[in-house]
């Protein structure tokens, strides 16, 4: 088995593709940053993997009833 890699395409229809070696093991839609908080670009190392988690804007201080609120569940699981 080759190295694991996740490629995030930040173009208009944002997609994330996960590879093990040359084999695609998962792909799906992605949510990217907005003009005030853009998605950082570059090469990053994965420090840990969460099997199943809920992501919500209140965790990072964005009110749940505001225009930039979000709730995504489940995240992970592949």
Summarize the confidence of residues 51-74 as an average pLDDT.
Answer: 85
Q: Give the range of the structural domain holding residue 72, as residue numbers without chain letter.
A: 4-31+50-76
Indicate whether 75 pLDDT > 80: no
Asked whether residue 40 is domain-assigned, the answer is no
Closest CA to 52 of 18, 15, 78: 78
Summarize the confidence of residues 27-35 as an average pLDDT.
Answer: 85
Chain segment 12-26, per-residue pLDDT in tens:
788 999 999 999 998
Asked whether residue 20 is domain-assigned, the answer is yes
Asked whether residue 39 is domain-assigned, the answer is no
Asked whether residue 58 is domain-assigned, the answer is yes
**pTM, to two decimals:** 0.58
Asked whether residue 45 is domain-assigned, the answer is no
Indicate whether 77 pLDDT > 70: no
Give the count of domains, the chain: 1
Asked whether residue 43 is domain-assigned, the answer is no
Summarize the confidence of residues 45-66 as an average pLDDT.
Answer: 83
13: tokens are 């229809």
Closest CA to 19 of 38, 42, 46: 46
% of the chain beyond a pLDDT of 70: 94
Asked whether residue 67 is domain-assigned, the answer is yes
């Amino acid at each position: 088995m080759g190295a694991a890699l996740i490629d995030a395409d930040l173009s208009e229809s944002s997609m994330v593709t996960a590879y093990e070696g040359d084999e695609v093991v998962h792909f799906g839609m992605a949510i990217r940053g907005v003009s005030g908080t853009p998605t950082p670009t570059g090469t990053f190392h994965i420090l840990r993997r969460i099997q199943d988690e809920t992501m919500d804007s209140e965790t990072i201080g964005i009110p749940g009833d505001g225009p930039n609120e979000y709730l995504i569940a489940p995240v992970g699981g592949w």
